[in-house]
Amino acid sequence: MKAMRTIAALSLLAVALPAGAQDKQTAVANFVAKDGKEDGRAQLTAAANGGVLIEVEISGLPANKWVAIHVHETGRCDAATHHESAGGHFDPEKAEHGILAAKGPHAGDMPNQYVGQDGVLRAQIFNGMVTLDGKTDGIRGRALMVHANSDDYRSQPSRCRRKTFLRRRPIATAQVL
């Protein structure tokens, strides 16, 4: 009887360990619009050789428009502050803003994405500069932010700094969980 309990416990442990390891390799983020309502979701998957694949679907966005999407410093997505609570772009290396910047990009900089005629952003974005683990390049607990306009990939400092933040208001923000 004792042997059966041991075998059962070990079997459960064998099943639970891979599931726990897999959880560290994935994350989700539920987007909140500027009105505070949930309007989309992202599924994040750690790539075996580093980086993260971010699959996004967000509705209720301005149709037929290019928008910027970035990883921001904190996971505080407060619609009452126009999502300013998420801080600036995630930049653990203290690089320049922009994919085209000579000394860039920030780890949180990603390519602009197109919102279709239906007002839905559907995208698969790979970011090779971040991870889902707790290292300095980890983005779990940080925010994904969609801005109302596209990024020019080179302005210094990034337009997300306080001075110009309100002109480039985010239209959706999500904490990576």
List, for residues 69-116, the tens digit of each pLDDT value: 999 998 888 777 767 788 889 999 999 999 999 999 999 999 999 999
Evaluate if pTM is beyond 0.85.
Answer: no
CATH number of the structural domain spanning residue 107: 2.60.40.200
17 in any annotated domain: no
Query: What distance in Å separates the CA atoms of residue 33 and residue 30, rounded to the nearest whole number?
Result: 10
19 in any annotated domain: no
Query: What distance in Å separates the CA atoms of residue 168 and residue 161, rounded to the nearest whole number?
Result: 10
Q: Give the pLDDT score at 83.
A: 72
55 in any annotated domain: yes
Q: Give the pLDDT score at 62.
A: 94
DSSP assignment string, 52-111 = EEEEEEE-SPPSSEEE-EEEES-----GGGTTGGG-SB--TT---SSTT-TT---TTB--
Q: Residue 148: which domain range?
A: 25-175
36 in any annotated domain: yes
Eight-state DSSP code of residue 148: S
**Across the strands, what pairs with 125?**
54
18 in any annotated domain: no
Instruction: Calculate what percentage of the chain has a pLDDT beyond 90.
Output: 62
Q: Give the pLDDT score at 10.
A: 42
Q: Give the pLDDT score at 16.
A: 45
List, for residues 109-145, the tens digit of each pLDDT value: 999 999 999 999 999 999 999 999 878 999 999 999 9
* Number of domains, the chain: 1
Q: Give the pLDDT score at 84.
A: 77
Q: Considering only CA atoms, give the Rg of the chain.
A: 19
Residue 41 has pLDDT above 80, yes or no: yes
Q: What tokens does 31 get? A: 């987007």
Residue 52 buriedness (CB in 10 A; 0-12 / 13-18 / 19+): buried
Average pLDDT in the chain: 84
69 in any annotated domain: yes
137: phi > 0 → left, psi -120 to 50 → alpha, else beta; which? alpha
Reduced to 3 states (helix: H, G, I; strand: E, B; else coil), residue 47 is coil
